[in-house]
Amino acid sequence: MSCRLCGSSDDGDLVQQTPGFQLIRCRHCGLVRTEGPGLDLTYDGDYYSAHALQDTMRSLRSGGARVRLTDFAYAAYLDGSSSWLRRLAALPVRNRLGGLPPRNESGSRLLDVGSGDGDFLRRAKTAGYQVVGQEINPAAVASARKAGLDVHLGPLEAAGFVPQSFDAVRLWHVLEHVAEPLAILKTAHALLKPSGVLVVGVPDFDSPARRIFGARWAGLQLPFHRHHFNPRTLRRALSVSGFRVRSLRHRSVGTIYSSLTEARRIPQALTVPAWLGLLLLDDALDLAGQGDTIDALASPS
């Protein structure tokens, strides 16, 4: 299998093996790819419904406290009139929100690729964006449309969006799922206005958390994650797709909690103080450049 970032066709180096799948690092550019049987059959409707149910059950087990905290943080972050105290109180949760472009003029158009049931679209709409979504799961699209959101059903390249018609495009935990990450980046480039901004989030395969948790790392998700990035390979992917990287930082998204529960090291139903403590640990790792999620902001070059 050739590397989808640099085109190299060498065998690569085996960096991790799990039952049925191998993780191969390209010797030329360093991008890690998943190899194994049946990868093209991975994404059926059950993947999305199962993950949505899993997320819902986790929220129920925690009494909804984390959901309420996240809603509070979004409101404080998006509302420019919020008091400084309210915005400060939201800081431990705000960094988990993920993928919200910088505040822009009211009415700016935002496209969320892989928008799911529209939860992010609803929140971005409260920030003043004109929001549009794209999603391949019919049930998720139906849910979003029921909420009054404009969401296209089907692949991004078949959506028929007008070129250079968006001020912001969000690819939040999308690149690791697709077989051709450069193709989707180039499509996003074509849809952005010259002054537009791209927001990308991917797990950092070279993070300490991945090395510690191994197959239990929350960012691995085999076989659903086809490619595994680090800061260097993400920068290269953006550059060869026509983007200039404006910022690249680590932004963990509660994955220490997820990895610990996956490894059965802690109970899933944590108290709010314990959960906030893990978020603060995430923040400390992010500040040290050791978090396990990469958040990039880029513009057409």
Percent of residues, the chain, with pLDDT higher than 90: 48
Contacts of 185 (CB under 8 A, 6+ apart): 171, 175, 198, 237, 238, 241, 243
Q: What is the pLDDT of residue 60?
A: 33
Name the more confident of 1 and 205: 205
Q: Quick one: pLDDT band at residue 289, thresholds 50, 70, 90?
A: confident
Q: Which residue has the tokens 């790392």?
A: 217
**Mean pLDDT across 146-155:** 96
Residues in the chain: 301
Radius of gyration, CA atoms only, the chain: 19
For 14-66, what is each residue's pLDDT tens digit? Answer: 998 888 899 999 999 999 999 988 776 655 544 444 444 344 334 433 434 44
Amino acid 216: pLDDT: 84
Check residue 292 and give its pLDDT.
86
Mean pLDDT of the chain: 79
Question: How far apart, in whole angstroms, are the C-alpha atoms of residue 28 and residue 236?
Answer: 12
Counting residues of the chain whose pLDDT is more than 70, the rounded percentage is: 66
Sign of CA dihedral 40, 41, 42, 45: positive
Residues 198-221, mean pLDDT to the nearest whole number: 90
Query: Which comes out higher in pLDDT, residue 265 or 117?
Result: 117
Position 236 scores a pLDDT of 98
Lookup: tokens for 176:
């690791």
Query: Is residue 88 over pLDDT 60?
Result: no
How do residues 99-143 score in pLDDT, each as one tens digit?
Answer: 667 655 667 999 999 999 998 899 888 878 899 999 999 999 999
Residue showing tokens 């050739």: 2
Q: What is the pLDDT of residue 134?
A: 97
Q: Per-residue pLDDT tens for 165-184?
A: 999 999 999 999 999 999 99
User: Where does the chain have alpha helices with state H?
Assistant: 45-61, 65-78, 84-89, 91-94, 119-126, 138-146, 181-191, 208-213, 231-240, 255-262, 272-287
Assigned fold of 45-300? Rossmann fold (3.40.50)
Q: Which of 81-85, 183-187, 246-250, 260-264 has the lowest mean pLDDT?
A: 81-85
Q: Would the pTM count as exceeding 0.95?
A: no
Distances in whole angstroms, Cα of residue 150 to Cα of each of 110, 141, 142, 169, 192: 11, 9, 10, 15, 18
Quick one: pLDDT at residue 145?
A: 97
**Cα-flanking dihedrals φ and ψ of residue 251, to 5°?**
-140, 95
pLDDT value at residue 159: 95
